[in-house]
Amino acid sequence: MNQTVSLSVIDLMGKLNEGIGILFSLKIKDKIYELIYWFDNDNNFRLVVDQDFLVDFQLNDIYDYDNLPHLVRFIESNIPNKDELLIHYGLK
Protein backbone atom coordinates (compact mmCIF):
# COMPACT_ATOMS: atom_id res chain seq x y z
CA MET A 1 0.00 0.00 0.00
CA ASN A 2 1.88 3.01 -1.28
CA GLN A 3 -0.65 5.65 -0.25
CA THR A 4 -0.86 7.41 3.09
CA VAL A 5 -3.06 5.09 5.12
CA SER A 6 -4.39 5.23 8.68
CA LEU A 7 -6.75 2.96 10.54
CA SER A 8 -8.92 3.65 13.58
CA VAL A 9 -11.09 1.24 15.54
CA ILE A 10 -14.64 2.59 15.68
CA ASP A 11 -16.24 -0.31 17.53
CA LEU A 12 -15.09 -3.65 18.87
CA MET A 13 -18.30 -5.44 17.97
CA GLY A 14 -17.34 -8.51 20.00
CA LYS A 15 -18.54 -12.04 19.38
CA LEU A 16 -20.21 -12.40 16.02
CA ASN A 17 -21.01 -15.75 14.37
CA GLU A 18 -18.34 -17.70 16.29
CA GLY A 19 -15.72 -15.06 15.57
CA ILE A 20 -14.85 -11.47 16.48
CA GLY A 21 -16.02 -8.44 14.52
CA ILE A 22 -14.29 -5.06 14.52
CA LEU A 23 -15.58 -1.92 12.78
CA PHE A 24 -12.85 0.34 11.41
CA SER A 25 -12.42 3.70 9.81
CA LEU A 26 -9.81 3.42 7.05
CA LYS A 27 -8.32 6.64 5.71
CA ILE A 28 -6.49 6.44 2.39
CA LYS A 29 -5.08 9.78 1.30
CA ASP A 30 -7.97 12.14 2.11
CA LYS A 31 -10.86 9.68 1.81
CA ILE A 32 -12.40 7.75 4.71
CA TYR A 33 -13.99 4.33 4.33
CA GLU A 34 -15.66 2.08 6.86
CA LEU A 35 -14.89 -1.60 6.96
CA ILE A 36 -15.65 -4.57 9.13
CA TYR A 37 -12.94 -7.11 9.82
CA TRP A 38 -14.08 -10.47 11.17
CA PHE A 39 -11.85 -13.34 12.25
CA ASP A 40 -12.23 -16.65 14.03
CA ASN A 41 -10.17 -19.18 15.95
CA ASP A 42 -9.26 -21.06 12.73
CA ASN A 43 -7.51 -18.00 11.19
CA ASN A 44 -10.41 -17.42 8.80
CA PHE A 45 -11.23 -13.80 8.11
CA ARG A 46 -13.77 -11.73 6.22
CA LEU A 47 -13.70 -8.11 5.17
CA VAL A 48 -16.71 -6.00 4.37
CA VAL A 49 -16.02 -2.55 2.94
CA ASP A 50 -18.34 0.27 2.07
CA GLN A 51 -19.43 0.65 -1.53
CA ASP A 52 -17.34 3.81 -2.03
CA PHE A 53 -14.14 1.79 -1.56
CA LEU A 54 -15.18 -0.65 -4.26
CA VAL A 55 -16.13 2.16 -6.63
CA ASP A 56 -12.98 4.22 -5.95
CA PHE A 57 -10.72 1.22 -6.54
CA GLN A 58 -12.82 -0.12 -9.42
CA LEU A 59 -13.58 -3.45 -7.73
CA ASN A 60 -16.55 -5.76 -7.76
CA ASP A 61 -15.43 -7.43 -4.56
CA ILE A 62 -12.85 -6.61 -1.87
CA TYR A 63 -11.27 -10.02 -2.46
CA ASP A 64 -10.28 -8.82 -5.96
CA TYR A 65 -8.16 -6.02 -4.45
CA ASP A 66 -4.50 -6.50 -5.43
CA ASN A 67 -3.29 -5.10 -2.11
CA LEU A 68 -5.58 -7.27 0.02
CA PRO A 69 -2.71 -9.18 1.72
CA HIS A 70 -1.08 -5.87 2.66
CA LEU A 71 -4.38 -4.47 3.90
CA VAL A 72 -5.04 -7.53 6.07
CA ARG A 73 -1.51 -7.38 7.56
CA PHE A 74 -2.01 -3.66 8.23
CA ILE A 75 -5.33 -4.34 9.97
CA GLU A 76 -3.92 -7.20 12.02
CA SER A 77 -0.98 -5.07 13.14
CA ASN A 78 -3.41 -2.42 14.43
CA ILE A 79 -5.82 -4.51 16.47
CA PRO A 80 -5.54 -5.91 19.98
CA ASN A 81 -4.02 -9.38 20.25
CA LYS A 82 -6.33 -11.78 18.39
CA ASP A 83 -5.77 -14.66 20.82
CA GLU A 84 -6.62 -12.45 23.79
CA LEU A 85 -9.82 -11.28 22.08
CA LEU A 86 -10.82 -14.85 21.27
CA ILE A 87 -10.21 -15.89 24.89
CA HIS A 88 -12.06 -12.84 26.24
CA TYR A 89 -15.16 -13.71 24.19
CA GLY A 90 -15.00 -17.43 25.02
CA LEU A 91 -14.00 -18.56 21.55
CA LYS A 92 -10.67 -20.11 22.47
pLDDT in tens, 35-80: 999 999 999 999 999 999 999 999 999 999 999 999 999 999 988 8
Range 83-86, long-range pairs (CB < 8 A, 24+ positions) = 85/12, 85/20, 86/20, 86/40, 86/41
CA–CA distances in Å: residue 39 to residues 2, 32, 47? 25, 22, 9
pTM for this entry: 0.87
Mean pLDDT of the chain: 92
What is the arithmetic mean of pLDDT over 16-37?
94
The torsion defined by the Cα of 44, 48, 53 and 54, in degrees rounded to 10, comes to: 80
* pLDDT value at residue 32: 96
